[in-house]
Amino acid sequence: MKVIKRNGSEAKFDIKKIVAALDKANNSVDESSRMTEEEIYEIAGQICKNIKSIKRALNVEEIQDIVENELMQRNYFSLARSYITYRFQRALVRKSNTTDAQILSLIECNNEEVKQENSNKNPTVNSVQRDYMAGEVSKDITKRFLLPPEVVKAHEEGIIHFHDADYFAQHMHNCDLVNLEDMLQNGTVISGTLIEKPKSFSTACNIATQIIAQVASNQYGGQSISLSHLAPFVQISREKITKAVIDELKDNQIDATEEQIANIVEKRVRDEIKKGVQTIQYQVVTLMTTNGQAPFITVFMYLNEVPEGRTRDDLAMIIEELLKERIQGVKNEQGVWITPAFPKLIYVLEEDNIKEDSKYWYLTCLAAKCTAKRMVPDYISEKIMKELKKDKNGEGHCYTCMGCRSFLTPYVDENNKPKYYGRFNQGVVTINLVDVACSSKSLDEFWEILDDRLELCYKALMCRHNRLKGTLSDAAPILWQYGALARLPKGEPIDKLLYGGYSTISLGYAGLWETVYKLIGKELTDSEGEKLGLEILTRLNDACAKWKKKENIDFSIYGTPLESTTYKFAKCLQKRFGVIPGVTDKNYITNSYHVHVTKNISAFDKLAFESKFQKLSPGGAISYVEVPNMNDNIPAVLEVMKFIYENIMYAELNTKSDYCQVCGYDGEILIVKDPDGKLVWECPKCKNRDQSKLNVARRTCGYIGSQFWNQGRTQEIQERVLHL
């Protein structure tokens, strides 16, 4: 068994320390209240059994709770009181400095929890360590000075999750829909240097990657760009290339027909597109932002976003090249082609590409091959999205999320035109619905406690909003002054962008599956469970509507993409309520409204069922189906894509893409238990367990992770059943 120490490092469980602690407490009480030596060893043995039954590494505080409970159950009240007093005194001493031990363990790479906090950050790299160190200081300041005590307490107890507290001390926000069109067409400024409108497609792509890096360094969530904003630069390159070809032919006194010239030009245009797309692919995966990771960037592929004709055909060529580059992958240190985590790709399914006889069907077939090989792109149905995302004029719109799933609400500007690019999300607070259910003795009490917890979330969300109020545009010029989000004058506060629906702020939720099961003993997929689940989400939406009316801020329901928090919530639930079968008996809880990963359900039934819940998660939602290796069954992938188009707004297919650097195995890397009960990754061919020599890519919660995960998320990945 392993123990997570207070500084986050991992150590072997030592029963001698339990015995020593009991012995010390025993000697501190009256002789009449003391245990015998045999009783001490008996209790220590029982504590050991209790720890093993939880099936995960416990931290020191959790083990101390188990010790206290065991003493109380055996009626050793004086001894338990002595133990609790000593524990409290030690806690007071530690509180005098809350960050030193954490930071030291980060520097020495001993912090096991941080190592597995973010599946796309390598904690041994200096820039990542620097970001984590700054994050520890920010979290400490946030807890002690910036947040109300009741919000901090609820966060630490897993009642809510105040996301990204490691960035809260700064005036930073969550995620963006970058207005790349404005920045490329009208110019921008990067690091004090004026960047004018590019004069070729490849230059536009290069500038786009610089913008991506700058934006990523000034916010902490995801960002998205659209290829439609790059498409007009293909024609600029075409005109430039045409002139060059004609001049070359003239200089060499070569006669050529218009058709021959056009063929030469188009070949060079395709070379230009390939060069530009490769720039995006390789720049994104090799860039490192100030937080020590590649930018969390999503690239949007939507044909109907540009007019029919030459521009749409040019956009199709860009999409085709991007898909081909992604199918190929990127080379690892050994020169083997592997699946990169970023950029995340989204492909819109629309009338012109969803049927075999449609003009761009060939792109959809290519997208299917890419999904089977590299897990991207993900798919948005233009048809369903336009039904769900209607503005105040009743017009439906199709647009990308900001990162993995965070969607803006429909918005019409002062000219009565829809606006999405240049908008952003202020931040997220997530409610642990399972805790509400476990705290309730009846369904009536559940609704009462839910309302109380929602008011707590409202208070926490307003803290996020108020932290951004008064932020000057100078804090992040690339965002607020030079077009990524706005073009405000220097020294102007960003306040007007926080109201009226220009930006959103998100109420996340987690564990709807477990919540319904705890309340009525039914699965969410049961008719009664579905009814209650939809009722709970309706209640959350009603709360957001009330807050929006009060504050003139677009509060929106967000299907939280839990990563490390799924484990944190599970641990807190076990601590507060024990192990409840079907509710708290896993080391993870279910993301948002998702069907439980262990539930046997077909891909089509799952997507159809979850589509009902996407409607009630306007601030963000994505559904997935787990599939086996589909490289030899592309027609089946296409059938799933057609079903997505007709039935659900946003979905993805999860497959596996792994490689063992020791033996060259390129099948599925497995999850096994080591002798201590810890879940580890192992090559089934050579039994290699060295994570630094394994390339594993898994969909974590809307995006691909490649740096491994905490024990809760690893168990969730291990227990996923196939839907196809």
161, 508 Cβ separation under 8 angstroms = yes
Which residues, including other chains, have CB under 8 Å from residue 70's CB and lie 6 or more apart?
43, 46, 47, 50
Active-site pick, 9, 202, 406, 617? 406
State the DSSP code for 493. B
How many CB atoms within 10 Å of residue 53?
8
Q: Say whether 197 sits in a helix, a strand or coil.
A: coil
Distances (CA, A) of 109 to 117, 129, 535: 13, 9, 45
Short-list 461, 394, 471, 402, CA closest to 430: 461
Active-site pick, 7, 425, 473, 657? 425
Active-site pick, 113, 563, 610, 652? 563
106, 69 Cβ separation under 8 angstroms = no
Active-site pick, 276, 508, 620, 702? 702
- Catalytic status, residue 382: no
Active-site pick, 132, 421, 502, 558? 558
- Catalytic status, residue 288: no
CA atoms of 661 and 655, how far apart (whole Å) = 20
Which residues, including other chains, have CB under 8 Å from residue 243's CB and lie 6 or more apart?
none
- Catalytic status, residue 186: no
CA atoms of 698 and 705, how far apart (whole Å) = 6
- Catalytic status, residue 558: yes
Which residues, including other chains, have CB under 8 Å from residue 145's CB and lie 6 or more apart?
none
Cis peptide before 618 (omega within 30 of 0): no
557, 619 Cβ separation under 8 angstroms = yes
User: Where do we find the tokens 């994570």?
Assistant: 691
- Catalytic status, residue 425: yes
421, 177 Cβ separation under 8 angstroms = yes
- Catalytic status, residue 404: yes
Residues in the chain: 724
Active-site pick, 175, 365, 385, 683? 175
Active-site pick, 7, 111, 119, 174? 174
- Catalytic status, residue 402: yes
- Catalytic status, residue 702: yes
Active-site pick, 402, 463, 641, 649? 402
Q: Is 34 exposed, middle or buried (0-12, 13-18, 19+ CB in 10 A)?
A: middle
The residues annotated with a catalytic role in the active site are 174-175, 402, 404, 406, 425, 558, 563, 702
